[in-house]
Structure 1
Amino acid sequence: MTNQSAATASSGKRKLLLTGATGYIGGTVLDALMRTNQYDITALVRDDDRAAQVTRALPLLKTAVAAHTDYAAMEAAAAAADIVVHTAESADQLDAAKALLKGLKQSSASLRVYLHTSGTGVLSDQAMGGPANPHVHSDVDMTDIDALADSQPHRSVDKFVLEAGGDASSNLRTAILCPPLIYGLGSGQFNTHSQQVPALIKAALKQGRAVHAGKGDNLWPNLHVRDLGRAFVTLLDRILAGDGAAPVNRHGYYFVENGEHSFRALVSDIALALEQRGVGDGKPHSLENEKVESVLGPRYPDGSHMLAGNSRCRAVLLRRLGWKPVEKSLGETVPKEVAYWFEQHKTK
């Protein structure tokens, strides 16, 4: 189903299908792509209500509808595109990735591009807040990435996408972007808040003190969501330009980060911001291993991966392509994030 009321695209623009327009990542990526004015964009959404919501907010944007398990509709929407940017629950939904790529391979475009969103959770271990892992992964070393166990989060989908583009003679270019802990206010029209930092703030409000797993020595990379939006734009530009410095297909694997943090340091920032509002003692507190998942809440049934493990990497390839993070650091955004969720907590 297509929104026929959307304005006709300008001649010569490549047709781009984006999933996740109403999400935190997808909305921000959509905003970054729209600002380039280079693409005829269609947002693939799950139902007619979301399509109407998108159309009201962005009247010039086209929409297509496919329920999250309607793979035939996904395939058809991708077949009508030159480019697919997949951000909607993309990291672990193998059948959706298969449908979108199957459709894109049917496209009549002379060059077809598929950008897939995974995450650095693929690198995570079971440290439970224990020592920092000394091993730092780099996206210029595919041998290191190929050695990741099949049991790692996101790994089955990553492996499928890496192989889907075929060899150098193919006119399909695939690339995976792996963002880390994402923070900051999104620039989309809908969901503008992240997940991990709010989960830690909500846990602190519930416990009456800021908490982390174990000693909190585990390290995780981080990135402002708007810098992530720019990363998609940069990579897509370079792939479409045929830049040989932008690996694709079997070698198209890109970490996206702007440094890393220990969870003790992050929770310390949260503790100080909450103390100013009369919550806690301004100090981070260790959480017993068996309580990590229950305290951090139902959005993190695997808290041992998402907020208690190590995930270390460097975004070498994107920086070589000219991408540079410009937004505020994680620590700088914590006070405002705490203020927002503190007010939300008071109104409940």
Structure 2
Amino acid sequence: MASKTPIFLTGATGYIGGAVLARLLNHPNASTFAITALVRNAEKAKVLESKFGVKAVVGNHEEFDKVESLVENAHVVFNLAEADNVPFIKAVLSGLRKRHAKHGDLPILIHTSGTGLLADDARGEYATDVIYDDLNVEQYKAIPDTALHRNVDLLVINADVEGYARTYIVPPSTIYGIAKHSLVDAGVSNPHSIQIPTIIEACLARKQAGVVGKGKGIWPDVHIDDIADLYIVLYDAIVANPEKVGHGWEGIFFGENGEHSWYQISKAIGEAMVALGISTDPEPTSFTTEEMVKYFGSEQWGWYCSSNSRCRGNRPRALGWKPKYTTEDMLKSIPAEVEEILKKPPRQPPFWPGIPTEKH
């Protein structure tokens, strides 16, 4: 009997990670996978093992020796949880290096970044004409080292350049949609995104739709089912013919299927609030500086929610990725997101989760 492919996955209890793991569990070759997941919650770990046959190791991303060991024992690593944690990614890469040295194989790392990498400082004043194409390697190389997610992405790419791993980076755009799959049903995985719900919570807290600046900045968007499918299309292509799939500097796969302005999101939230009787005017008003600090944690993260980040995911499409959902679907999904948030007790601001600034 052939040995199973050892897969290590982070983020199993999260939004992206849960959706990808659900697809791996339903994959035509699922019986040939030996999947290990690192999770913080012991109860969820039990469910993953008993109901889904996933080896669940209880721990966190600050347990670097544990992370390194788990990675070393895997031929394929899906990092679906950390885009900005430098010490964590160094532990992952150390595990890949040790595996390569010990076994001589080229382990695979599929890493999650984000199109925040491309964000400018438009502050809602204009829509940029700059559009990044993931087939344009020189354009991607020219992104400043100070860009969001860049410090981690460069470490990942360097592992490929040094030759001890094959690395692939998926930068999703604005992910939307309430995830529906077996891990959500079992109470293991989070069904909600961050970006749009954060803006919804801020609008609900002030009882009036809000927008940062004029909201003219443009971002791409992608449905949770489509982005999860991208990871599977990428994995299948790597396994089928690794030499035909770009990696390292040529292994960037933008996840997008349409574009929206920040104003469009805020207006859709405003219309939903009027329909629910929360507000009388659907027209968004600009968040004040004080509101940006209150709801987003800082003025910086407020302005981030008015930036431009435009890109085209041509590389995943060339592998056969066929996203189904469009920006129109994203805007139509907002009322359900508003209603879902209203079912829960209101959270205390700030609502934006914040991102580590560790650069070393």
State how 1:147-158 maps to structure 2 within 5 Å: 147-158=142-153
Following superposition of structure 1 onto structure 2, how do residues 16-165 of structure 1 map, counting pairs within 5 Å?
16-36=7-27, 37=30, 38-46=32-40, 48-55=42-49, 58-88=51-81, 90-107=82-99, 108=103, 110-165=105-160
Moved more, 336-345 or 287-296: 287-296
- 1:3 is matched with none
Q: In structure 2, what is the equivalent of residue 226 of structure 1?
A: 225
1:193-272 alignment runs, 5 A limit? 193-272=192-271
Report the equivalent of 1:179. Answer: 172
Kept in 2, the 8 Å contact 1:227–1:327? The answer is yes
Superposition CA RMSD, Å: 2.3
How many Å apart are 1:157 and its aligned residue? 0.5
Question: Do the aligned residues in 1 keep the contact of 2:210 with 2:287 (CA within 8 Å)?
Answer: no
SS at match of 2:228: helix
Aligned length: 334
TM-score by length of structure 2 reads 0.86
Q: Is the 8 A contact 1:264 1:284 kept in 2?
A: no
CA deviations over 1:225-284 (Å, ceiling 9, x no partner): 111111100111111222544201232111110111001111111111111110223423
The alpha-carbon deviation at position 300 of structure 1 amounts to 9.0
Contact 1:165–1:174 (Cα < 8 Å) also in 2: yes
CA distance in 2, matches of 1:123, 1:337: 26
Alpha-carbon distance in structure 2 between the residues aligned to 1:182 and 1:300? 23
Partner residue of 1:310 out of 302, 308, 311: 308
* Structure with the largest fraction of helix: 2
Q: Partners in 1 of 2:301 and 2:106 — Cα distance?
A: 39
In the alignment, residue 167 of structure 2 is paired with which amino acid?
A: T
2:335, 2:106 → 1: CA distance?
A: 45
Distance 2:41 2:170 in 1: 26
User: What residue in structure 2 maps to residue 335 of structure 1?
Assistant: 335
> Would the alpha carbon gap of residues 27 and 272 (structure 1) be closer, same or farther in structure 2, given more than 3 Å must change?
same
Q: Which moved more, 1:286-295 or 1:15-24?
A: 286-295
| Contact map agreement 1:178 1:255 (CA 8 A) in 2 | yes
Q: Distance in 2 between matches of 1:104 and 1:65?
A: 21
Q: 1:143 to 1:45 in 2, by over 3 A?
A: same
CA distance in 2, matches of 1:286, 1:142: 39
SS in 2 for 1:150: coil
Q: Within 1, Cα distance between the matches of 2:41 and 2:61? A: 9
Judge conservation of contact 2:38–2:60 (CA < 8 Å) in 1.
Answer: no
Change (3 A) 1:204 1:345: farther
Cα offset for 1:14?
Answer: 0.9
In the aligned structure 2, how far is the partner of 1:284 from the partner of 1:109? 60
Distance 1:146 1:320 in 2: 21
Aligned mates of 1:282, 1:243 — CA distance in 2 = 54
Q: Give SS of 1:102's match.
A: helix
The alpha carbon displacement at 1:104 in A equals 2.2
Q: Distance in 1 between matches of 2:299 and 2:66?
A: 30
Contiguous gaps of at least 5 residues in structure 1: 1-9
Deviation for aligned residue 1:65: 3.2
Q: What is the CA deviation profile of residues 292-315 of structure 1, one whole-angstrom value per residue up to 9, with x for unaligned ones? A: 52353449962222x111111010
Q: 1:213 to 1:292 in 2, by over 3 A?
A: farther
Deviations 1:25-84 (A, max 9, x none): 11111111111115221111236455235335x341111233221111101001111100
Query: Do the aligned partners of residues 264 and 347 (structure 1) sit closer, same or farther apart at CA in structure 2, a change above 3 Å counting?
Result: closer
Q: 2 CA distance for matches of 1:69 and 1:120?
A: 25
Q: Which amino acid aligns with 1:181?
A: T
Q: Distance in 1 between matches of 2:280 and 2:223?
A: 28
Match of 1:324 among 319, 322, 325: 322
SS at match of 2:166: strand
| 2:124 partner SS | coil
Report sequence identity in percent: 33
Question: 1:300 and 1:119 mapped to 2: Cα distance?
Answer: 21
Pair 1:200–1:149, CA change in 2 (3 A): same
Q: Given the superposition, is the C-alpha separation of residues 39 and 205 from structure 1 closer, same or farther in structure 2, using an over 3 Å criterion?
A: same
- Asked if the contact 1:17–1:84 (Cα under 8 Å) also holds between the matched residues in 2, the reply is yes
Match of 2:284, SS state, is strand
Letter of the aligned partner of 2:154 in structure 1?
K
Q: Is the 8 A contact 2:9 2:35 kept in 1?
A: yes
Alpha carbons 1:268, 1:282 under 8 Å: kept? no
- Residues 339 and 119 of structure 1: CA distance in aligned 2, closer, same or farther (over 3 Å): same
Deviation of 1:287 after TM superposition, in Å, equals 1.6
Secondary structure of 1:284's aligned partner: coil
